[in-house]
Structure 1
Amino acid sequence: MIMMVAKVAVLWMWFAVRLTSFAYNTPQKDFQARLVNGRYLHQGRVEVNIDGDWGLVCTHEWEMVDANVLCRQLGFPGAKLAMINAEGGGPGLLDLVDCDGWESNLGECHYRAGSWDCEDEAMARCQEAALPVRISNGVEIQYDSHWIPVCHGPSAIATAQVVCRQLGYRYAVRVKGHHREKSGDEDAKDSLALDFSCSGEEEHLGLCLTDGPMIGDCSVAAEVNCSNTNDVKPGDITRLSEVDVSDTGILQVKYAGDWWRICFEGVDMTVAQLVCHQLGFVDAVTVRAVSVYDKDSSKIPRQGQFGSLECLGTERTLTECKFNLSKDYECSSKSLAEVSCSDSMVTPLPDFQIRLVGGVFPYEGRVEISYGGQWGTVCDDHWGYADAHVVCKQLGFHTAEAISTTAYFGEGDGPILLDDVMCAGNETSIINCRHAGIGEHNCKHNEDAGVRCYENKTQLETLSPGIQDSFLPFIVILINGLIALLILVGCLVYCYLKIWDRYTGHTRRAHLHRTQDASTQGVTRANDVPMEYTEEPPAYHTVHENRDVYITQRSETPPPEYSEAMKLQADTCV
């Protein structure tokens, strides 16, 4: 009997082990985990990374002991709350997670791995704590035993202040973005990044708002210099927008606790390159002037003093330029500098290209030329048809039809590059004409010059470029010869018709005289047959031109009375 009970116990234990091994995978490796879609870094939905794929933890038995293991894995002291979202949805990778509590990673717990649609998703809220932060290859925070980058996000300056405070410093003296270089040991599972929204008053990043670690790397990573003294230099902290990290906006620098709006004068593409690189962008696209009176522009900051800068072109950072930041400074151009940056390299714009802007048709508009990577306008001083002709020829049109002054096609927003242009008319480019010098002018944009060219292009598309130049004069001569020949033929035909008309008119008049004479004398042919007209009646214009022949003038003597006429007839018959 005892032997029978022992055999049953052994079989039961074997069956339990087999059942357990069927329901759970034997722990084999650590899983990377994260909490997402929470308001803070220590709370959210639980997700794990298995073989490079992120998925949910699906379970209806998620307990505090399991959440404790997760929170310690992420770097927090422990769990504060374990929750299950019964209205969840999405691809799940883990189920039936069962931890004993001693584990340091969810991968050490019992679980069932697979791929299915998740209905009950695990959620957790960990105990708040300041996760380690460092400045190495940008700002990084330690999360789940990995250093992940902090992005140069909408509140980059406030985030930098929190980072420096967490590191024990009083001030963030320089804030910029940069393109982070990934180390060789980073693989797909390390491709996480964090974007925080801080007010600047938080004690550590864990108190800033965030959606949790996002998959991928920062397009622009945060970088900051911290100090215990507020020795911020002009140009250390810059921005293009008041509300977020924008790639386009009015250039502003922070100095002495205030934001200064930089005037357009002195800001060129070289300065724009320094600004864009400091903000973490790859390249600068354009620089343009925006009027300080442009109240319709939402990009113009309404607060802050005006300032200017002057760079030599050899500076490596914006702080090496010379700034003029004073309370009573006013922009001489009445315009602010708007800089546009790009996350990729921009193809350089060749110098002295030309275009027409602001017209209804492609053959008219404000004249703009390129120089130094940006488009600028031409002042209308001495602007004439010879200048417009050179512009139209340079654009491929035959010649100019009209010129415009006083910004007829609208005011430009770039620099004024040419003034006092005086062309002879045979130049191949407007830059070859006489002018005051590149960038030398005494104009404003309300004097921008424009042209209207003839619509047809000079080039004949039906002829090859090598042939059209040699045959074009012959074609013109041939066309003119044909026109002259047609005119000559027309004149000959007209003269012939006039001569013929005169000849036929003389013949008809002679015949009419013969007929009238015969009628007057009462002459008749044999058998009393009167003479008849053997020709057609004369034309209207013939009668009109020979009124004395065809039209009998009315006699001034009145006709006789009827009785006298009858008596005269009776006497004649006798």
Structure 2
Amino acid sequence: MGFAIFIFFCALAWSSFTDTEAGDIVSMYSDDAIPIHLRGGTASSGRVEVFYNDQWGTICDDGFDLDDAMVICRVIALKDCPHSGWGVANCKHEEDAGVECSGTPSASELFQILNDQANALIQHGAILDDHETTIATIQNEIDHLAAEVPTLIQANTLQNGEISQLQQLMATLDYKVDELNNMAVFPIRLMGGNASHGRVEVWHDGQWGTICDDSWDINDARVVCRQLGYKDAIAAYEHAMYGEGTGPILMDSVGCTGSEPHLAACSHEGWTVHDCKHEEDAGVGCLYQDELGTWAAFSAGWTSGSYRPTSNYIIPFNQVYTNIGGHYSTNGRFTAPVNGHYFFVFNGHSAYLGSYNVYIYFMINGSAYKSNWIYDTDNDDSTDTSSNSIIVHLNKNDYVSIQIRGNYALTGSERTTFSGFLIQAD
């Protein structure tokens, strides 16, 4: 089924296409999405993998030919193409199928992406801002489709079932366009890295642009990664980690809570409103479902300024840099997802040496387990940082945190940090 008369018959459920920069990926959803990505090669060639039953899997090369490759390269999902059934195969991974695509997306292909994200937003009931360019494009395609239907029916190009399906679809298109009048539809992609890591770019007003890293954090990255079809985010990157973009800077001060279904639902300063340069382009690192397993890792800093509590105080490391698995909370607590051995490192910085000392505890389930301190008599500096690390065994749902002792001082900065990860599960 390499040739589709209309994109609506091989509906774009979830798709990605790439252009000339390695690692670019563009992804969308619909109500019965089947994600596809290329791995083990370049941006435009590689092993084809599809997401089904919460895991990524490959396609056996039995019967796989240029027509099938055309479907994938034209950003059309495989859900309407015949196959033996999910998990039904007589193959080994030495027979995994791959494709090599060429060219950049055409206007029609871009329309497919926009149309599919529109369907996804409609499915989720999202009512957002107006996006006239998208609406006009879709309306033109609908008009073209309507004009072609009589010719195709007369030429017996369509089967009876397809005609019925097409007629039913046509009856709902006007409703979908009405819905589009009340929402913004824009694809997103990753550039400069690979399929799961890169600079975030969004499509707006007929062009691709970047996001400024002001206030960019792990919650923003989680929304981007989920929209791209990944399980979660590994990290939010700042300072053009994956190179500087060349288009406009479209978004600044993005404010996602982490629970939004797509980036369009997050707040920002307004299109093209920013005070940034491309050296501040934001990026993300995303996590594949099949890579997740029982992974658990986090790194966080405390940015709330200097503090000298009168009683013992759990430090709420509020700046989360990495939170693989989502087991760290910004109240300062990491909860063990499984029984196993874990590694932790914690740093305390003080700008008060000479007046107040630093005294912090590593806590397990609310009880002090290991301590770390700095005394002003240790050296002649007015500021200093003390570090410590530990490997401990935790049971599932045990929690760890860092506590500052009452009447001691601590300075919130990039040097007051708390990190840890699972070494090995039991």
> Does TM, normalized by the shorter one, top 0.5?
no
Structure with more of its chain in strand, by fraction: 2
TM range (shorter): 0.3 to 0.5
Structure with more of its chain in helix, by fraction: 1
Larger Rg: 1
Greater relative contact order structure (CA < 8 Å, 6+ sep)? 2
